[in-house]
């Protein structure tokens, strides 16, 4: 594993950003390879080449469906999580426009959901953005109280991508079902990590993304419960039951299917292993560095997810120093746009600015070992003391 865990200078390399993306597994790449050149057919073609490609797509559809307890016909392949979120939300809003114009979501959703809702507001829809508690948790009672005669969609995520909290989707699903409101769940972070059963959880629409679970980028899926109707957002052909026109990304879909099959098979063991590593990392940091706080729910959280705030310093400067030590993490105060506003998620949780600015997200994955965790725990304290010594905030 030299190439993965060490660079040429011999510095250990530890990738702790699996919620941003994951490497494609060798088994997944192996499954995809034949479909680039040898079996390159268009699944819509009637000849042998087309039939081979169609069979591969349908085989992958069954594997994706099986991961979430769905039927294969209920899976619509898309270009990823963002497109699936758009199809679910815009597709429901426009299809049900004559029934009502109100949507319910939360203040901690991914931008693929939030920006889509904001766009719909400009188009005349009304949106309720529910608050969360200090752990980033949504209260199902708030969902029920927000429902009106006009409500056509509830869209709530399963695993929160920035702080790792697992939202009470089963309870919200029961409420949605009782009120006859369509229920969409963004499960990009939880799929393949923790069990999902769309029937048991009363979910009508569910978003998944391949590249967050060791599959290739640019492919995802929307689960659409049998009988749930949507307005297609891409028109041009009858692909994917008329809900998503365009020639299928056959190699990508095949890879996604294989990633789902492996995730299902390995989930019990791997989620336990990740939980142990996660708790070792959280405990190691909180015990060895003063003025640190775990963000997100302490126990009802994704098995691979750690988010910690370091008082008095900027998450960004910790990241740069970690990067110099070969460690890849991310921060909640993403200043990609040049603004130093902390993330909407940490602010919605009511984190004071000094904590929101000092947040670092470390998300574990298949390639991480106990040695990786111990390495991080050994390099972090000197980085934090150095930065705090220079800090003007303390």
Active site residues: 335
Name 34's Cβ contacts closer than 8 Å, sequence gap at least 6: none
Distance of closest approach, residue 118 Cβ to ligand PLP, in angstroms = 15
Determine if 81 is a binding residue for ligand PLP (CB under 6 A): yes
Determine if 188 is a binding residue for ligand PLP (CB under 6 A): yes
Exactly one of 61, 110, 273, 305 binds ligand PLP (CB under 6 A); which one?
110
Residue nearest to ligand PLP (CB): 81
Name 322's Cβ contacts closer than 8 Å, sequence gap at least 6: 328, 329, 360, 376, 379, 380, 383
Asked if 113 and 157 touch (Cβ cutoff 8 Å), the reply is: yes
List the one residue out of 256, 333, 186 whose CA is nearest residue 22. 256
Distance of closest approach, residue 83 Cβ to ligand PLP, in angstroms = 7
Determine if 220 is a binding residue for ligand PLP (CB under 6 A): yes
Pairing between strand 305-310 and 292-294?
antiparallel
**Beta strands per DSSP E along the chain:** 14-15, 75-78, 102-106, 126-130, 151-157, 182-186, 205-209, 220-224, 292-294, 305-310, 327-328, 330-331, 359-363
Exactly one of 5, 92, 106, 161 binds ligand PLP (CB under 6 A); which one?
161
Number of helices (H) and strands (E) in the chain: give both, helices first.
12, 13
Determine if 112 is a binding residue for ligand PLP (CB under 6 A): yes
Distance of closest approach, residue 189 Cβ to ligand PLP, in angstroms = 5
Determine if 106 is a binding residue for ligand PLP (CB under 6 A): no
Determine if 80 is a binding residue for ligand PLP (CB under 6 A): yes
Distance of closest approach, residue 109 Cβ to ligand PLP, in angstroms = 8
Residue with smaller CB distance to ligand PLP, 188 or 387: 188
Exactly one of 209, 307, 333, 359 binds ligand PLP (CB under 6 A); which one?
209
Residue with smaller CB distance to ligand PLP, 31 or 157: 157
* Structure letter (DSSP) for residue 288: H
Total number of residues binding ligand PLP (CB under 6 A)? 15
Cα–Cα distance measured from residue 271 to residue 274, given in angstroms and rounded to the nearest whole number: 5
Determine if 164 is a binding residue for ligand PLP (CB under 6 A): no
Catalog residues that contact ligand PLP under the rule CB under 6 A. 80-82, 85, 110, 112, 157, 161, 186, 188-189, 209, 211-212, 220
């Amino acid at each position: 594993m030299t190439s993965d865990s060490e660079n040429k200078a011999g510095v250990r390399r530890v990738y702790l950003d699996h919620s941003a993306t994951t490497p494609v597994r060798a088994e997944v790449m192996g499954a995809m390879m034949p479909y680039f050149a040898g079996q390159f057919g268009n699944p819509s073609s009637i000849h042998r080449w087309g039939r081979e490609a169609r069979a591969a797509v349908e085989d992958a559809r069954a594997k994706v469906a099986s991961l979430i307890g769905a039927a294969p016909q209920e899976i619509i392949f898309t270009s990823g999580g963002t497109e699936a979120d758009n199809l679910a939300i815009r597709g429901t809003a426009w299809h049900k426009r004559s029934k009502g114009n109100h949507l319910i979501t939360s203040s901690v959703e991914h931008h693929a959901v939030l920006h889509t809702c904001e766009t719909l507001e400009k188009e005349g829809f009304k949106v309720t953005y529910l608050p969360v508690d200090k752990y980033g948790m949504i209260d199902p009672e708030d969902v029920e109280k927000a429902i009106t005669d006009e409500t056509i969609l509830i869209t709530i995520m399963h695993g929160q991508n920035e702080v790792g909290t697992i939202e009470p989707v089963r309870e919200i699903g029961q409420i949605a079902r009782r009120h006859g409101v369509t229920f969409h769940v963004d499960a990009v972070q939880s799929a393949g990590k923790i069990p999902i059963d769309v029937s048991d959880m009363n979910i009508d629409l569910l978003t998944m993304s391949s590249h967050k679970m060791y599959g290739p980028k640019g492919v995802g899926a929307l689960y659409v419960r049998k009988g749930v109707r949507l307005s297609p957002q891409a028109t041009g052909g009858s692909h994917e039951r008329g809900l998503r026109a365009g020639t299928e990304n056959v190699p990508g879909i095949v890879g996604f299917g294989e990633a789902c099959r492996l995730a299902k098979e390995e989930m019990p063991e791997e989620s336990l292993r990740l939980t142990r590593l996660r708790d070792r990392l959280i405990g190691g940091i909180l015990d060895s560095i003063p003025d640190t706080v775990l963000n997100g729910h302490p126990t009802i959280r994704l098995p691979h997810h750690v988010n910690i705030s370091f008082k008095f310093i900027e998450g960004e400067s910790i990241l740069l120093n970690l990067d110099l030590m070969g460690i890849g993490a991310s921060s909640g105060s993403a200043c990609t746009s040049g603004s130093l506003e902390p993330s909407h998620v940490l602010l919605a949780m009511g984190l004071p600015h000094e904590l929101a600015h000092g947040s670092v997200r470390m998300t574990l994955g298949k390639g991480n070992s106990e040695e990786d965790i111990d390495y991080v725990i050994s390099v972090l304290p000197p980085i934090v003391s150095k930065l705090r010594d220079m800090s003007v905030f303390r």
